[in-house]
Amino acid sequence: MAKNAQGSGSPTAKLLLGLVLTLAAVLLFAYYMTTQLAGLRALQSNMVDRNRKDSLQLLRVQNDLNSLALAMQEILDKREPYPLTAWTAQFDRIRGDLDAALKIEDAFAPTQRTAEQRTYLSQSLTQFWDATDRMFALAANGKEAGAREQIQVTLQAREAALSTAVSRLLIQNNEAEEQATAEITKIYDRVQRQLYFFLSAALLVIVLTSLYLIQANKKIFAQMTELSEQRSELAQKLISTQESTLRHLSRELHDEFGQVLTAIGALLSRAGKQMPGESALREDLKEVQEITQSTLTKVRGLSQALHPVLLEEAGLAATLDWYIPTVERQTGLAVHYEKSGTEFPVETAAGVHLYRVVQESLNNVNRHAETKEAWVRLTYGAQELRLEIEDHGKGLRREKDQHGIGMVAMRERAELIGGTLEYEKPDAGGTRVRLRVAREKVEAHVG
């Protein structure tokens, strides 16, 4: 039997090995493709960035040339009161900026630009400044008419030629950038198609390899799901039975014992009134009546604790308003109760589960937390209702406390109303129980 079992063992190991090998191949190919794409991306970034920086400097040159053109137009304006030599400083400033821009532009010039194109700008600009120097020399010697003629005949023509050359270079840069972008896009598309093809094939292999393993484990998962559903159904039935029993006991205490004690109190009151005013028996009857009233109060309190009818009559918030002081009197806990948000009516069945979570949490604080202080926060949000019970005691011991029947019951109650229950450790230590549930799951729709 052992040999047969060993010979017909589970194929899981082989399937996992195949899966690992397939995933390794996928990862290697993905790494290769990623490297290729990164190289292409770097190439694209360098080309486009280089063209862009070169174009920025050409635009800078063009702007300076436009400034020169405007300055020359102002010089030729006969209404200008200043002598030509007054423009020397402005021309020097523009000349310095142009020289700096051309030096930077030459560093970023595209590789496809010819040597003649590279030298044309600098040579043309040199010729322009030589003519400018001659113009200012004429003006300095008092020959402003000749200087103005120099501007009209030579400088404006050279400036126009420079502007045209810069515009051509800008157009070439734009065309080169568009061509580079189109070519790189083609490469991207081709690599992307190859990547998708390989990934599709790899995923197909993975799916086919895993089908048998999935089928083999399907029954196990089905059994686990069934057991989980049975456990949840059993827990819900237990909670339902518990609530039904507590409701029955609460009604019995309130209706039967409450009515009996009320009747006894009434009889004692009538009997006392019939006794003489100074009778010792009258005092005894009064004392028995007080004991009866105290017992009636305790019975009603116990009835409310078992199943608070107040939930059905006044809602969750009012029930907690009553319950918190009751817990403080009974246990000695100092409970800080906080409500926030715009209150909305909570459906009775959901309110019972929320109330039980508070009840169980405060019982745990009283019995296990080794502290006499707790916080209860009820927050009415626009989208959810949040309930928190916090203490700063010794905290949960997961190996013991968190698997108790009380904890399980609270989780089941949270699931019954579509909420989530979380256990946290506050910064000050201890335990925080947080129940969050969507507003639409618990809100009572009146009318």
Q: pLDDT digit string (tens) for 319-348?
A: 888 889 988 988 899 999 999 999 999 988
Q: Is there a domain that residue 247 lies in?
A: no
Q: Where in 166-258 does DSSP place strands (E)? A: none
Q: pLDDT digit string (tens) for 293-316?
A: 777 667 666 666 666 667 777 888
Most confident of 164-178, 264-278, 354-368: 354-368
pLDDT confidence of residue 5: 39
Same domain, 319 and 431: yes
For 40-54, 142-156, 187-201, 274-288, which range has the lowest pLDDT when averaged over its residues? Answer: 274-288
Domain boundary among 212, 240, 255: 212
Instruction: Compute the average pLDDT of residues 124-130.
Output: 87
Q: By CB neighbour count within 10 A (0-12 exposed, 13-18 middle, 19+ buried), where does 30 fall?
A: middle
Q: Is there a domain that residue 40 lies in?
A: yes
In the block, which residue shows the tokens 């069945």? 349
Instruction: Compute the average pLDDT of residues 184-204.
Output: 76
Same domain, 170 and 312: no
Same domain, 100 and 205: yes
Domain boundary among 196, 212, 228: 212
Domain count, the chain: 2
Instruction: Categorize the per-residue pLDDT at 246 as very low, low, confident or very high, splitting at 50, 70 and 90.
Output: low
pLDDT confidence of residue 414: 87
- Name which residue leads in pLDDT, 225 or 258: 225
Q: Please tell me the chain's helix, strand, coil percentages from 3-state DSSP, rounded to the nearest 5.
A: 75, 10, 15
Cβ distance 95 to 136 under 8 Å?
Answer: no
Give the distance from CA 10 to its chain's centroid. 43
Q: Is there a domain that residue 396 lies in?
A: yes
For 16-30, 220-234, 265-279, which range has the lowest pLDDT when averaged over its residues? Answer: 265-279
Cβ distance 213 to 12 under 8 Å?
Answer: yes
In the block, which residue shows the tokens 């305790």? 298
Same domain, 196 and 314: no
pLDDT confidence of residue 101: 85
Instruction: Categorize the per-residue pLDDT at 7 as very low, low, confident or very high, splitting at 50, 70 and 90.
Output: very low
Residue 188 corresponds to which tokens in the numbers above?
């991207």
For 172-181, 276-285, 362-371, 430-439, which range has the lowest pLDDT when averaged over its residues? Answer: 276-285
**What CATH number is given to the structural domain containing 395?**
3.30.565.10
Residue 208's SS3 state is: helix
H-run or E-run covering 420: strand 420-424
Average pLDDT, the chain: 78
Tally of CA atoms within 13 A in the half-sphere of 127 that contains its CB:
13
Find the Cα–Cα–Cα–Cα dihedral 207, 210, 212, 217, rounded to 10°: -130
The span from the CA of 158 to the CA of 161, in Å, is 5
Same domain, 336 and 192: no
The span from the CA of 28 to the CA of 22, in Å, is 10
Same domain, 198 and 315: no
Same domain, 187 and 56: yes
Q: Is there a domain that residue 371 lies in?
A: yes
Long-range pairs for 285-292: beta carbons < 8 A, 24 or more residues apart: 289/265, 292/261, 292/264, 292/265, 292/268
Same domain, 16 and 154: yes
Share of the chain above pLDDT 70, in %: 75
In the block, which residue shows the tokens 């200087």? 147
CA angle centred on 157, ends 151 and 158, rounded to 5°: 95
Most confident of 117-131, 279-293, 403-417: 117-131
**What CATH number is given to the structural domain containing 63?**
1.20.120.1730
Q: Is there a domain that residue 111 lies in?
A: yes
Same domain, 29 and 148: yes
Q: Is there a domain that residue 325 lies in?
A: yes
Residue 383 corresponds to which tokens in the numbers above?
């989208």
pLDDT confidence of residue 431: 92
* Maximum CA extent, the chain: 143
- Name which residue leads in pLDDT, 274 or 204: 204
Cα–Cα separations (whole angstroms), residue 341 to 176, 285, 379, 434:
62, 51, 6, 17
pLDDT confidence of residue 401: 46
Instruction: Categorize the per-residue pLDDT at 388 as very low, low, confident or very high, splitting at 50, 70 and 90.
Output: very high
Q: Helices (DSSP H) in 334-381: which residue ranges? A: 348-368
pLDDT confidence of residue 163: 87
**Domain interval for residue 129:** 8-212
Q: Is there a domain that residue 276 lies in?
A: no
Instruction: Categorize the per-residue pLDDT at 8 as very low, low, confident or very high, splitting at 50, 70 and 90.
Output: very low
Same domain, 344 and 197: no
pLDDT at 398 over 60: no
pLDDT at 374 over 90: yes
Strand duo 431-438 + 384-391: pairing: antiparallel
pLDDT confidence of residue 1: 40
The span from the CA of 392 to the CA of 370, in Å, is 9
Domain boundary among 212, 239, 254: 212
Same domain, 48 and 193: yes
pLDDT confidence of residue 400: 47
Share of the chain above pLDDT 90, in %: 11
Phi-psi region of 7 (alpha: psi -120 to 50; beta: other; left: phi over 0): alpha
